[in-house]
Amino acid sequence: MDKIFYFKFLFFILYSTVVFAQENYTISGIVKEASSNESLIGVTIVFPELKTGVTTNEYGFYSITLPSGTHTLQISSIGFKDIVQKIDLNENLKLNFKLEIFVEELEEVVLTEDVEKINIRKPQMSVNSLSVETIKNIPLVFGEADVINSILLLPGVTNAGEASTGFNVRGGAADQNLILLDEAIIFNSSHLFGFFSVFNPDATKDVKLYKGGIPSRYGGRVSSVLEVFQKEGNSKEFKVSGGIGTIASRILLEGPIVQDRAAFLVGGRVSYGQYFLPALDIDNSASFYDINAKAHYRLNEKNKILLSGYFGRDSFSLDKSFTNTFGNSVANFRWNHIISDKIFSNLSLIYSEYFFGLELDLLGFNWDSNVRQFNLKLDINDFKSDKLQINYGFNNIYYVFNPGIVKPLDQNSDILEEQLTKKYADEFAAYVDIEHYISDKFSMEYGIRLSLFARLGQDDFNLYLNDDPVIFDPFLLTYLEADPIDPVDPPPGFSSGNGTGISDIYTNLEPRFSASYRFNTNTSIKAGYNRMAQYIHLLSNTSSPTPLDVWTPSGPYVKPQILDQYALGFYKNIKNGVFTIETEVFYKDIDNRIDYIDGADLIANNAIERVILNGEARAYGWEMLFRVNKNKFKGWLAYTLSKSEQRTPGRTPKVDNGRSNRETGINLGEWYNTPYDKTHDIALYGSYDLNKKWRFNMDFIYQTGQPTNYPVGQFEFQGLIIPYYGLRNEERLPDYHRLDISAKFVPTKKASSKWQSEWVFSVYNVYNRKNAASINFRRNQDTGVNEAIQTSIFGIVPAVTYNFKF
């Protein structure tokens, strides 16, 4: 609260721990995987005698400053051979490490043992890492491996079931997740109704999900950070891997451009299931494809350039009456520069676009919308001492929001081509984040992020009487859209051009804090607090299967969302990591959560401020994760008990002509369930290695049914029969649960050939439960009686996938 006090406290902590007792030298370098030169993220280098260590950053770089002398160094990372080395430290050393893969296939690990050991020590809480191998083991529909569907098995993460895009973390909305692919922000993380994510598992190197305790280097979304890093490309030899699946296939090629210095990686996925549909007389169709292309060049010991690009498109059409196309495109330039032995920097220049288009044959027009961002960011890691790491940097994003161009399909149509008003904004943030290992038992991570959002000028600007885009009718007790007054001319503060002039600025200070107290090597407790600000919002139609994704920036009528999250956790390793228990409780408070007035119209709405009201939201819950990691069996049980609700009270009554009208708000101003409130969320995952050839996996999910609206009665008016509804989100769909199993068969590899293959046999939804995707009501044409119709997407789906690499 008191910002000056906070800063003084920060400086005091810093100064009190900088110790210059004796000669200290720095060891630094990069840790790579031996056969590909792929840099390794999150590998811990431990100095057991000194009881200290360091973890490699996102680019494999580490730096640690120790007193002179002879020390033993140990690197132990699951899937790799251990390295133990004696170091004579009497000058600054550059030590690069190459870890060799275990002779057996990279198996194991749900959450790497090492990450866990250091997690007990690291102050960070509410973060889960998933290894790529785990992701590839979790059986899913059509036998495909998937990043997003794997994180759904973690506590605190749910989604709306099949045919839903996005995911919800700790009772947060799908637009509140910051999704990063190699530092680039991705807007929509799913293909094909959420069955596939935009992350090609073959190209993925590291996946981390922050549910809370979010360090200050991340910002812009309030609920979570999903950070995915892809492989950079094998600079030692040329490799191909891929898979042929039931409805989609994928291939990945990587290899050196300059041996050991430069490499490329190209991967693609394409679905083909849609070609069989006409033969089966099905008029609906869904398909996707995506391409990942990367290249990197290590100029010298201190400099490395990385280039990456991603392009993906989804296409969904219903009965030829409409076609929906959407997808992300990203172009990314990064420059790693090692400034000194202790300081690492990364500069990124990113272009990212999300496109969403609808071709409505029935209504005769096309609606194309997109959001573009141009992002410049600089991140610096200063490994000041073995007890203190300071990260700082800045991030600037320039946005162009295009709510849509409406084009007629037919030249002779009555519909005129119309460009809805483009919106411009700039988001800037600067941060400082300190990882502070105060003592053997106690460590803290604290930091602050200053974020600033400027809404820039635009072509047309709507003004409303009394600045009220939504009117409350005191007689009918309903909210109505206000008509704009003075339609076009921008007010002072805008210039008449696009993207120039500033109309609104929002500034926020976002303090972040987490602390860890370790009772012994096996037990710790952690506490954390973070404040986050979110300046762009997704206006999505939550009650239908094809969401209309319109991202909109904060402005005069839409305020930024501000979140405060408090969390407390307890962690224990039992029997040296064979069993682990992690449990956390959290409480989140969000200001300025918007919701729609009843009957809001979203399609091609140029003035969305007329259908939304500001409110607040909160979520709280308890998460539990119990993991087993014993010999041939790995698995976990995750349970979350939580509540996610929001409230949209009536606005402060204005006195108008001596009349002061109290407003009803939505749901009479009472708390109501958010559309993603799930009371219970249970996930069970298990993996068993029978022998070198066979592995069996299973997963089971159970979620409380999603909130929905059922009609509570009906009436007749002028011959029409109309249902009417009760309060918002009071009812629930039936509970969602299913069981999936899979078996992986690895035939013996011929010694002479490099070809490796595996067969995956999987069954999704083993007991064929028809989980409700939605329930609608209609009058039966024959009997005249009302009935409830449940739509479910998948019953039991068996699949076979063939994966190969050479």
By CB under 8 A, the residues from 658 to 677 that bind other proteins are 658-664, 668
Part in contact with other proteins (CB under 8 A); list of ranges 205-213, 270-278, 373-381, 555-563: 270-278
Question: Could you tell me the sign of the dihedral formed by the alpha carbons of 62, 63, 66, 72, in that order?
Answer: positive
Q: What distance, in Å, lies between the first and last C-alpha atoms of the chain? A: 58
- Residues 6+ positions from 541 with CB-CB distance below 8 Å: 547, 548, 602
Range 117-176, binding other proteins (CB under 8 A): 141-142
Contact predicate 569/587, CB 8 Å? no
Contact call for residue 653 and other proteins (CB under 8 A): yes
Task: Give 388 or 600: the residue with its C-beta nearer to other proteins.
Answer: 600
Contact call for residue 722 and other proteins (CB under 8 A): yes
CA–CA separation, 416 vs 420, rounded Å?
12
- Residues 6+ positions from 544 with CB-CB distance below 8 Å: 774
Contact predicate 629/640, CB 8 Å? no
Task: Give 182 or 595: the residue with its C-beta nearer to other proteins.
Answer: 595
In the set 46, 66, 225, 247, which binds other proteins (CB under 8 A)?
A: 247
CA–CA separation, 241 vs 105, rounded Å?
15
Range 317-346, binding other proteins (CB under 8 A): 318, 322
* Least distance to other proteins, CB of residue 322, Å: 8
* Least distance to other proteins, CB of residue 323, Å: 12
In the set 359, 649, 793, 801, which binds other proteins (CB under 8 A)?
A: 793
**Could you give the C-alpha distances from 367 to 189, 329, 403, 414, 601, in angstroms and in order?**
21, 19, 9, 15, 15
What number of chain residues touch other proteins (CB under 8 A)? 84
**AA letter at 124:** Q
In the set 246, 369, 375, 687, which binds other proteins (CB under 8 A)?
A: 246
Contact predicate 27/95, CB 8 Å? yes
Task: Give 522 or 546: the residue with its C-beta nearer to other proteins.
Answer: 546
Distance of CA 99 to the CA centre of its chain: 29
Could you tell me which residues are beta bridge partners of residue 741?
A: 698, 763
Part in contact with other proteins (CB under 8 A); list of ranges 214-222, 325-333, 640-648, 708-716: 708-716
Could you tell me which residues are beta bridge partners of residue 158?
A: 168
DSSP 3-state assignment of 767? coil
- Tell which phi-psi region holds residue 364, choosing left (phi > 0), alpha (psi between -120 and 50) or beta: left
Whats the size of the chain, residue-wise? 806
In the set 596, 620, 636, 736, which binds other proteins (CB under 8 A)?
A: 596
Query: Exposed, middle or buried: residue 240 (CB in 10 Å: 0-12, 13-18, 19+)?
Result: middle
In the set 81, 519, 796, 806, which binds other proteins (CB under 8 A)?
A: 796
Task: Give 466 or 543: the residue with its C-beta nearer to other proteins.
Answer: 543
In the set 238, 519, 767, 777, which binds other proteins (CB under 8 A)?
A: 777
Task: Give 747 or 795: the residue with its C-beta nearer to other proteins.
Answer: 795
Task: Give 282 or 349: the residue with its C-beta nearer to other proteins.
Answer: 282
Contact predicate 357/369, CB 8 Å? yes
In the set 139, 794, 801, 803, which binds other proteins (CB under 8 A)?
A: 794
Q: Compute the half-sphere exposure of residue 478: CA atoms within 13 Å on the CB side of its CA.
A: 7
Could you tell me which residues are beta bridge partners of residue 708?
A: 731
* Least distance to other proteins, CB of residue 166, Å: 18
Part in contact with other proteins (CB under 8 A); list of ranges 179-187, 275-283, 289-297, 327-335: 275-283
In the set 180, 305, 438, 775, which binds other proteins (CB under 8 A)?
A: 775
Q: What is the DSSP string of 469-498?
A: SEEEETTTTEEEEPPPBS-SPPPBTB-SST
- Tell which phi-psi region holds residue 412, choosing left (phi > 0), alpha (psi between -120 and 50) or beta: alpha
CB atoms within 10 A of CB 725: 13
Range 526-545, binding other proteins (CB under 8 A): 541-545
In the set 278, 493, 497, 599, which binds other proteins (CB under 8 A)?
A: 599
* Least distance to other proteins, CB of residue 485, Å: 16
Contact call for residue 710 and other proteins (CB under 8 A): yes
Contact call for residue 762 and other proteins (CB under 8 A): no
Contact call for residue 790 and other proteins (CB under 8 A): yes
CA–CA separation, 244 vs 133, rounded Å?
18
Contact call for residue 788 and other proteins (CB under 8 A): yes
Range 171-210, binding other proteins (CB under 8 A): none
Contact call for residue 785 and other proteins (CB under 8 A): yes
Range 467-526, binding other proteins (CB under 8 A): 474-478, 480
Part in contact with other proteins (CB under 8 A); list of ranges 402-410, 427-435, 503-511, 796-804: 796-804
- Residues 6+ positions from 300 with CB-CB distance below 8 Å: none
In which residue are the tokens 């990587």 written? 254
CB atoms within 10 A of CB 185: 19
Contact call for residue 781 and other proteins (CB under 8 A): yes
* Least distance to other proteins, CB of residue 423, Å: 22
Range 539-578, binding other proteins (CB under 8 A): 541-546, 548
CA–CA separation, 374 vs 349, rounded Å?
8
CA–CA separation, 227 vs 129, rounded Å?
10
**AA letter at 157:** V
In the set 512, 728, 738, 744, which binds other proteins (CB under 8 A)?
A: 728
* Least distance to other proteins, CB of residue 366, Å: 15
In the set 410, 411, 717, 748, which binds other proteins (CB under 8 A)?
A: 717
Contact call for residue 86 and other proteins (CB under 8 A): no
Part in contact with other proteins (CB under 8 A); list of ranges 103-111, 176-184, 654-662, 682-690: 654-662
Task: Give 270 or 668: the residue with its C-beta nearer to other proteins.
Answer: 668
Part in contact with other proteins (CB under 8 A); list of ranges 71-79, 584-592, 724-732, 744-752: 724-732
* Least distance to other proteins, CB of residue 778, Å: 4
- List Cβ<8 Å contacts ≥24 apart for 540-547: 540/174, 540/175, 541/602, 542/675, 543/675, 543/708, 543/709, 543/774, 544/774, 545/163, 545/164, 545/193, 545/773, 545/774, 546/316, 546/324, 547/165
* Least distance to other proteins, CB of residue 413, Å: 13
CA–CA separation, 379 vs 722, rounded Å?
57
Contact call for residue 280 and other proteins (CB under 8 A): yes
Task: Give 19 or 477: the residue with its C-beta nearer to other proteins.
Answer: 477
- Residues 6+ positions from 628 with CB-CB distance below 8 Å: 578, 579, 634, 635, 636
